Structure formats: C-alpha cells, structure tokens
Chain A
Amino acid sequence: MQTLSSMSSISRRDLLKTGGALVVSFAFGAVLPRRSAAQSPTADGDLAKMLDPSEVDSFLAIHADGSVTLYTGKVDIGTGLRIAVAQMAAEELGVPAERISVVDGDTGLCPDQGGTGGSTGLTRGGVEVRQAAATARKALLTLGAAQLNRPAADLTIADGQVRPLAGGSGIGIAALLGERRFSVKVDPRAPLTAPARYTVVGKPLLRPEVPDKCTGRHVYVQDFSLPGMLHARVIRPPTVGAKLVSVDESSIRSIPGIPDVRVVRIDSFLAVVSKDEWAAVRAATALKSTWSDWQGLPGNDGLVRYLRDGAIDRDEAVVSRGDPAAAMPGAAKKLSATYFWPSQSHASLGPSCAVADVRADGATIWSASQGTHGLRNNLARVFGLPVAKVRVVFLEGSGSYGTNGSDYVAADAVLLSKTIGQPVRVQWTRQDEHRWDPKGPQQLLDLQAGLDSTGRIVAWDTQMWLPATRPGGRAYLAAEAAGIAQERGQNAGALAQNGDPPYAAENVRVLVHWLKETPLVPSNLRAPGKIANVFAVESFTDELAAAAGVDPVAFRLSRLTDPRAIDALTRATTTFGWRARTSPNPQARQGNLLTGRGVAYMRYKQAENYIAMVMDVAVDPASGRIAVRRVVCAHDCGLVVNPDALRNQIEGCIVQTLSRTLHEEVKFDRSRVTSADWASYPILTFPEAPAIDVILIDRPDQPLLGAGEAATAPVAAALANAVFDATGARLRTVPFTPERVKAALRSNG
C-alpha cells in the first residue's frame, strides 16, 4: 500500500482477519458486504473507496439493492449528526432515510471535512454531503431521461426510483447506475430541493443508534477489541512535569496469581500491558515508581492576579468601533466589573480509550476523536509513520464536547503497539481523564461601559485575558514522556468571540490580552470562550439595565434591530410569562426562599444562531443553594433538519452549562490537578434538573446553522441575572457554589 488511494482499498478478507467480529458488525453492516455499483473492483479484487472531496463518489455510494451509504468526515458524538445528514441527503436523492446509512470519521472511507467542532457538523459536513447528493440526483435524472425517453425536467426521484412527474412507471436508481460509480465532480450549482417541497428535512426522525444504545448493542470504542489484543494502563506522572527516576518491577510480582504483565518504559513513559485487563489494572496500581519533584503550577488561589500579571504574547483588538476611551469620561453613568470563569474539564463520563494496531505495513487506530483526519496526520508525523499507511477509524466514545482525552489516549496506544508489535487497547482511568484531559481555559474579563443621560450606551470596553494560540498540533502526553520530538501547538478554539454586546452601542472595543503562559494545557471545550464571554457581557448588560432603572427585557429590546433577534427574545419572554419591572424583585421572598427571573440573549459568534433564554430560580439564603426551577429557551438556527435531535442538543447544552456554572472548577495545587474524580469535580445531578421549555424557531428559507453548542452560551448569564433578581447580589465568579452565594449575600447586605 503506497498511496492514499491504495490505502483506502479495503479487502474484505483483510478486515475480517484483522478487524474481528466487531468490525464486521460496524463496517460490514453499513458498507462492505454490498459490493455494488459504486464500489468497482480494483485489480487485486479489493473495494476502492474514493476520498477526494471534489468527487461525488467520495460522499455516497448507491448499492445494488437501492440502499445508500453516505460517507462524512464529521462525526456523530451523540449529537444526531448521522440522522440529520441522512435526512439532508434523502431529500436530494429521493431515497427514504431508512434506506440510508452513514459512515462517519473513518479516514479510510470518508473524505476529510475538517474536525467536528465549532458547530460545523451540518453546516460543513451535512452541506457538502447534500451538494454531492444533489449532483448525484442530477446525474440520475440524466440517466433516467435517456432510459425513459423523456426530458430530465419531466422526471423526479421518489422512493428510490426515477419517475415521470406526470406519473407512470419509473426505474430504480441502482438499476440506472448499473455497475458504475458516478465519476462526476461535485457540482456546486447542482440545484437543491426547494425547502417548500421538503418531506424528510424537518421531520423528527429517530436516531437509528438509540435502540442499540438502550439495549447494549452499540459498539463504543471502549467495547472494541481485536484478536491478540493486549490491555494497557499508562502510569502518568504524579505531578504534571515529573520525570521518571526508577521503576521497581518486582512490586507487581507480589500480587497473588496475577497473569503475565509486561512493564513498558520509554524514558518517562511508563505502562503495563497484559492479555488480562484486570491484571493490567492491578499492576498499574501496584507498580512502584519514583519520580522527580515538580512544582510549576500557580495553584488555584490567586489565579486572577496570576493572569492579570501574566506575560503578554500580544494584544489584539478583536472589535474596535469608535473610541470608547474618549467617550467614557463624558458618560452620565459609568460602570465597571470583573468576571471570572475557571478552568473546566470535558469530564467525559467514560474515560478515554483507544485501540491501535501498528504493523510494519501500516497502522490502524480505533478512536473516538472528534477530528480523526487531523489525528491521523498528527500521529503519523509524531510517530514516524507514513500518513498514507495510517487509518483512524471512528467509533463513538462517551460524549466529548471538544478535545478531551481521546487524542492523547490514541497516542498512548500507538506508542505501545509500535513498541511491542501487537494490537493494544489503552483505557484511561477516571483520574486520568479528570487530571489529564486538556482543559477549557480559565477566562478573566474586565468590562466597562458608560450610559448617557437618556440611557444610550455611549462607550463599551471589554478586556479579556486568554491563552495565546500557537500553530501546530497539541503535544501528546505519550510523546512528551517518551522524549519524542513533536510540535507544541496550542489552540483552544475561537475564544474571543461574543465579547461585544449584541446591542446598539456607539463606541466599542474588545481587547484580548493573549497570554504566553497559562496553567494546564488549554483545549476547545464546548462553545470555546463564548460561554464566559456571554456570561460577562450579558450579566453586565443586566447591570446597565439596573443602573438605568429599566426592565432588563425592555432594555435589550430597545437596543436590537434585527427582527430575528427581537423574535427570539419576544418568544422566550412571552412563553415564560415575563412581566416588565426592574430588578431586583421587590417580592422575592417565598417562604424561606428568594425567587427571581433572569434573561440573556446572544447571537452566536455574532453571526449565527439567535438565542434568548429566561430562567426562574429560587435561592435559599440560609444554605446558599440555587435551585433552577424553569428554563425557557427560544432558539433560531435557521432551517431545522431534525427538530427532536435538535431539542435534545439544546436541552443538553442548557443542563450541561448549568452544571458548569453551578459546580465546576478544575482544582490544582503547585504540581497537579487535584479534582480528579466526581467527588472532587462534582457535576449537576438529577434532583437539580430544571423543567425546560425549548421553542424552536424554524426558518426553512434560511441557511441551517449548527446547534451543538450555541445554546450553552446564554446559560450562565441568565442564571446570574436571575440570582440578582432574586437576591440583589451579583455573582461574577463561576462556579456559583453555596459558599460564594452566601458570601455575595453577606456583602450585599
């Protein structure tokens, strides 16, 4: 196998041999048993799969039985991407969605469509597949015109048949295509089905994997195994930067009856491997090792000062309109406030896992990475494997919400498999995941604004302190420990967006201080940066409304002009039953509780989804506990593809961000992360789950927008504003722990 295209030649025999039973159910069930028109045999009898994203055949194959397989480089991480992509293609192909299966994220089968992040799963992944399907439709209509002796314009495709629009018998698409590929380039101008004629897009079709997930049949990466595979546990250093001094291998021999365990040491990379998973677990716990001392972290305490005093890589004004510094002194009312968002973990419920089979003639890695193509390229570079011989097969893991430990564990598995010459499965522990997943970074924001005597915002200034971005791949823990040279890129996503108010304001600046050094490796965590930025901007907007003595909704509405923004805010507040008055709530007390409501609005990335959120809370001043009783969310992401899968995402965004706002902070001392399990890093539990009303604003005439993360962004602000309404105390530091709430109530008065 020399080239990328020959790498993607997959022999059924080889897969059976190397892939084991689970590959059969995963890959063959979806793709390979149907040796069909689109999979023309190559010289050696293998099935070639095109990967070039300019080719229709890279995105879809029509099988002899008329069923269709779609291939997308984007992955479904429990988000409903697969069903949504199938619906989008079904609409163009005239094939029922049940007859369409989707293969996602397998670099040997799927074109590279970029990583799955920034809510681009459908906006890029789905849209590209849709255009390929529209091109295929055009080709099928042309073929049908020749066969049926009618102009293509008189034909349509429905139920997998090209038929005369006027009625009469048609011909199946598989029969039309015969033993051929499409062999056409994706035509960017191939006409798309008009939204008014949609029959599949917009329907709440069930996600086909959910029954499997509810009956134990869904194959997660954690469930995958290969014949002859060994189980490994990596012993990470006790502190972030410690070096391995010595290992006492005899320490595991004292475990009675333990099967063979091999200790693998490469410089400071230390692991145990065994055929028996439990033996690897026991050995990893028992193995005695000594490490050098390391104390390079600042610790949680004093983090705000650490960031404020940190060395700045560069300053960047990401928004600059007018001159807020000049306008501020003349303002009738001036406000300033500081907001802080802590470092948080992806905290995936299942610790990361990967299986790697590195051989002389190529490597295959089974991974839950959100960016399998990027992972393939990076693994090849770091471990000296020819990229054309590396294949990363996506298998779902536990929800990841960004770059969790999945890429790191894949590197662990590659290093081990390469070293010992056998397939290796590496399963991280709970503590590994909490300690070592790259973290959503802490964010510090200073806000200042001035209102004139009529309440207009005449000056707005946001400053934020964020980890600098550096080009290149994120350094793998395994390669770092093993002393393998690699890039030290740093990228935590588009952290600086939504730092400006979405409202009429005359002089606005958002200045980012990109910091050279920040504690812990930063990573993209759901809606990178934007949750904290909207928390600050929308809390501060509430502070301005209170200072102006205006109802918070009226304050916002009077500064919005975009009808979609106004619609979202109006629908959310109407459904909630919002009655205009200023905050705090003059009748907050209900028994022992203080009650209030809060609102937040934002447009995601200032260019995408319009979301308005209203919350009803009760605060117990004695305990400091906040109960979120009800959340109303109006959500406009343009065209809705699958309303039920969309609601599921929105509900998840809301609950997860409530958890992040109420509970979550990565704790670390001078040398290591100390919040290493669910007791020290608690998340929201069922008794805290609020009632949620989601209002979908479907706009079939508008482009679809991603929805995997946007609804997270207004959550913290709506909550903080509701707490202010209930108590008169303003929470500007996350998480809103009972101690913080009580402290805020005390200082309030």
Chain B
Amino acid sequence: MATYAFRLNGRSVSVDSWDPGQPLLYLLRGALGLHGPKFGCGLEQCGACTVLVDKQATRSCTMPVSRAAGRDITTLEGLGTIEKPHSVQAAFIAEQAAQCGYCTNGMIMTAAALLSRTPKPTLEQVKQGLAGNLCRCGTHTRILRAVMRASQPPPRVALRRATPKQSEGGV
C-alpha cells in the first residue's frame, strides 16, 4: 500500500492505494468523499469524470493515482459552492443548464478550464471546446448559453431567480 500526496481543492491531502494504476476518480469518489466527478464510462469518452489537474481539464477515470502525486487538483466542489459559486457554476444555475445533471460536472470543469485560457470565446470555440463532453439529456443549447454567459462580464447572478429567455435562438 503506497501513499500519494497532492493538493486537492486548496488543501494538502494524502491517500493510500494498493494499486499505483488506480484511477484518481475512484479515490476522489471513495476515500476522499468527493462526488462531483462522476463515473460515466471509464474510457475517456464522455467527460463526466473531469477534474482540473494544474488547471488543465483532465479525465480522472483513467488518470493513475501515481500521476496525481504532487499535482494541484480541483474538483467541482473546490471550484465553488452554492454560497460562493464560480462564475461558470453561477451561469449554469442561472440558465438552468442541467436536466439530470450527470454530465454537469464535466461541462462546468471543462468550461472553466476553457475560459481560463480563452476568456472571451466565440460560440464556435465553446462548441469545439466541449466537443468531447457528452450530454445524453440534450441540454446542449443551455450549456452553451451558460458558458457564453459566464464569459460575459458580470451582472452578478442571483441564484434563486429565473431569467427566462423568450427565444432560444442564436445558440
């Protein structure tokens, strides 16, 4: 049993694993109790498991824990909270950009990484940036709207008030 130390959501943590090849996802969801990242495929095909590793959107379902050692890892929980949401989270809430929400972790984490590189993306850049993230519920138009909204400068968004759109055109 080896111990792996890394930064997780701003804190130093260490976890034990009997298998250096154990994907980070299982440790996050298991011993570390973080359920933001989801198991969707384990095959790097869907993006549900996405976390930030040194600010890069990374699929934790195939990333061996041995490669996480010494890195700086952020999960959805570390990105922001209901009380202090990250701008992407706030935009997703305002746009109600979730149905089942199983893909939402991957969408928000991938979008957060995209916007940190490209703060003012075009709609086309956002589409390309999310091309590897799957949503089965068909929430695409709202997710795109949410990411575009997050890339606009604030009006800060009140979480509990809806801002319905009359038309979904344009996205």
A binds B: yes
Which A residues fall within an 8 A CB radius of B?
A: 77-79, 98, 203-207, 209-220, 222-223, 255-259, 276-279, 281-282, 347-351, 396-399, 401, 427, 429-430, 630, 643-645, 647-649, 651-659, 677-679, 683-687, 689-694
Chain A residue contacts of B30, Cβ below 8 A: 276-278
CA gap between A396 and B100 in the complex, in Å: 8
Residues of B with C-beta under 8 A to A351: 39-41
Q: In the complex the two chains form, what is the Cα distance from A401 to B143 in whole Å? A: 20
Closest to B88 in A: A214
Inside 8 A of A204's CB, which chain B residues have their CB? 162, 164
Contact among B104, B128, B135, B138 with A213 in the assembled complex (CB-CB below 8 Å): B104
- Chain B hits for A207, CB < 8 A: 96
Is there contact, CB below 8 Å, between A214 and B138?
A: no
Residue of A nearest to B136 (CB): A349
Contacts A401-B136, A677-B45, A678-B45 aside, 9 further interface pairs with beta carbons under 8 A come to: A213-B98, A215-B89, A350-B39, A350-B102, A398-B102, A399-B102, A686-B126, A686-B144, A693-B168
Interface size bucket, B side?
Answer: 35 or more
Of B19, B85, B143, B144, which is within 8 A of A215 by CB? B85
Known A220-B35, A259-B18: A210·B101 in contact at CB below 8 Å = yes
CA distance A679 to B76 in the complex (A): 26
Nearest B residue (CB) for A396: B100
> Does A206 contact B161, Cβ atoms closer than 8 Å?
yes
Contact indicator per residue, chain B 97-134, by CB within 8 Å of chain A (1) or not (0): 01111111100100000000000000000111011111
- In the bound complex, do residue B138 and residue A687 qualify as a contact, i.e. CB atoms below 8 Å apart? no
**Is there an interface contact between B19 and A278, defined as CB atoms closer than 8 Å?**
yes
List 8 A-B pairs, minimum CB-CB distance, nearest first.
Answer: A216-B36, A655-B138, A78-B100, A213-B101, A399-B100, A689-B140, A398-B102, A652-B138
Does the CB pair B75–A216 fall under 8 Å?
yes
Q: Please, which residues of chain B bring their CB within 8 A of the CB of A255? A: 19
CB pair A210–B131 under 8 Å, yes or no, is: no
Which B-chain residue is minimally distant from A346 (CB atoms)? B136
> Which A residues are CB-close (under 8 A) to B37?
216
A231 to chain B, nearest CB (A): 9
> Which of the residues B93, B133, B141 comes within 8 Å of A692, measured between beta carbons?
B141
Instruction: Please state if A216 and B35 are interface contacts (CB–CB under 8 Å).
Output: yes
- Pair A689/B144 contact, Cβ less than 8 Å: yes
In the assembled complex, 25 residue pairs joining A and B whose CB atoms fall closer than 8 Å, in A order, are: A204-B162, A206-B96, A206-B161, A211-B159, A214-B98, A215-B77, A215-B80, A215-B81, A216-B35, A216-B105, A218-B101, A220-B35, A257-B1, A258-B19, A396-B100, A398-B100, A430-B43, A644-B164, A647-B164, A648-B99, A678-B41, A687-B127, A687-B131, A689-B127, A690-B141
B137 within 8 A of A: yes
Q: Which of A255, A399, A693 has the most CB of B within 10 A?
A: A399
A117 to chain B, nearest CB (A): 16
Q: A211-B82, A651-B142, A653-B138 are in contact. Are A350 and B38 (CB under 8 A)?
A: yes
Taking CB atoms, residues of chain A closer than 8 Å to B35 are 216, 219-220, 222-223
Chain A positions within 8 Å of B139 at CB level: 648, 651-652, 655
Say whether B171 faces chain A, with CB atoms less than 8 Å apart: yes
Residues of the A chain whose Cβ atoms lie less than 8 Å from the Cβ of B156? none
B136 touches A398 (CB 8 A): yes
The reply to whether A216 and B162 form a contact with Cβ atoms under 8 Å apart is no
Q: Do A689 and B100 contact each other (CB < 8 Å), given the known contacts A210-B93, A211-B93, A429-B42?
A: no
Q: Type the 1/0 row for B6-39, where 1 means its CB is closer than 8 Å to any CB of A.
A: 0000000000011100110010011000111111
Provide the bound-state CA to CA distance between A685 and B128, in Å.
Answer: 9
Which one of A259, A279, A651 lies within 8 Å of B138 (CB-CB)?
A651
User: B149 to chain A: closest CB distance in Å?
Assistant: 13
Contact B137–A399 (Cβ < 8 Å): yes
**B48 CB-CB contact with A under 8 Å:** yes
CB of A65, distance to nearest CB on chain B (Å):
19
| A678 x B46 contact (CB < 8 A) | yes
Distance in angstroms between the alpha carbons of A213 and B164 in the assembled complex? 19
Nearest-neighbor residue (CB-CB) of A259 within chain B? B18
Asked if B19 and A257 make an inter-chain contact with CB atoms under 8 angstroms apart, the answer reads yes
Overall SS of chain B's interface: loop
| B contacts, CB < 8 Å to A | 1, 17-19, 22-23, 26, 29-30, 34-43, 45-46, 48, 75-77, 79-82, 85, 89, 92-93, 96, 98-105, 108, 126-128, 130-144, 159-162, 164-165, 167-171
**Chain B: CB-nearest residue to A632:** B169
Contact in complex: B127, A214 (CB < 8 Å) = no
Set of chain B residues within 8 Å of A78, measured between Cβ atoms = 98-101, 137
CB-defined contacts of A685 to chain B, threshold 8 Å? 131-132, 134
Give the Cβ gap from A29 to chain B, nearest Cβ, in Å.
14
Q: Are B168 and A651 closer than 8 Å at their CB atoms? A: yes
Neighbour of B98 across the interface among A210, A278, A679, CB < 8 A: A210
* Interchain nearest-CB distance for B122 vs A (Å): 13
Q: How far is the CB of A100 from chain B (nearest CB, A)?
A: 14
Q: CB distance A630 to B169 under 8 Å? A: yes
**Is the beta-carbon distance between B96 and A648 smaller than 8 angstroms?**
yes
Contact A205 B162 (CB under 8 A): yes
| B98 engages A257 (CB within 8 Å) | no
Chain A residues in 8 Å Cβ range of B142? 648, 651
Chain A residues with CB under 8 Å of B165's CB are 647
Residues of A within 8 A of B128 (CB): 686-687
* Contact partner, B162, options A213, A644, A678, Cβ 8 Å: A644
CA distance in complex: A524, B124 (Å): 36
Complex CA–CA separation, A430 to B35 (angstroms): 18
Contact check: which of B43, B76, B143, B170 meets A216 at CB < 8 Å?
Answer: B76
B99, A399: Cβ atoms closer than 8 Å: yes
B164–A217 CB distance below 8 A: no
B39 in contact with A427 (CB, 8 Å): yes
Instruction: Report the Cα distance A427→B37, complex, angstroms.
Output: 15
In the complex, which residue of chain A has the Cβ closest to the Cβ of B92? A214
> Closest chain A residue to B26 by CB distance?
A278
A656 with B19, Cβ < 8 A, contacts A206-B93, A215-B80 known:
no
A216 and B102 CA atoms in complex are apart in Å by 10
The residue in chain B whose Cβ has the minimal distance to the Cβ of A399 is B100
Residues of chain B with a CB closer than 8 A to A210's CB: 92-93, 96, 98, 101
Closest-CB distance, B83 to chain A (whole angstroms): 9
Residue of B whose beta carbon sits closest to that of A208: B160
Q: Are B136 and A399 in contact (CB under 8 A)?
A: yes
In Å, the complex CA distance between A398 and B48 comes to 11
Question: For residue A401, which residues in chain B have a CB less than 8 angstroms away from its CB?
Answer: 136
Contacts of A396 in B (CB 8 A): 100
Chain B residues near A347: list those with CB within 8 A.
136
> From residue B18, how far is it (CB to closest CB) to chain A in Å?
4
Interchain nearest-CB distance for A597 vs B (Å): 15
Shortest CB–CB separation between residue B95 and chain A, in angstroms?
9
Residue of B nearest to A345 (CB): B136
User: CA–CA, A210 to B140, complex, Å?
Assistant: 16
Across-interface contacts of B136 in A (CB, < 8 A): 347-349, 398-399, 401, 656, 683
* Residue numbers in A under 8 Å from B98 (CB-CB): 78, 210, 213-214
Bound: A98/B108 CA distance, A:
26
Q: Is the CB of B138 within 8 A of A654?
A: yes
Known pairs A213-B104, A215-B36, A656-B138; A691 contacts B169 (CB<8 A): yes
Asked if residues B89 and A686 are in contact (CB atoms below 8 Å), the reply is: no
B138 proximity list for chain A (CB < 8 A) = 651-659, 684
Which residue from chain B places its CB closest to the CB of A205 in the assembled complex? B162
- The minimal Cβ–Cβ distance linking A504 to chain B, given in whole angstroms, is 33
Complexed CA–CA distance, A399 and B134 (Å): 13
**B137 contact set on A, CB distance < 8 A:** 78, 349, 399, 652, 656
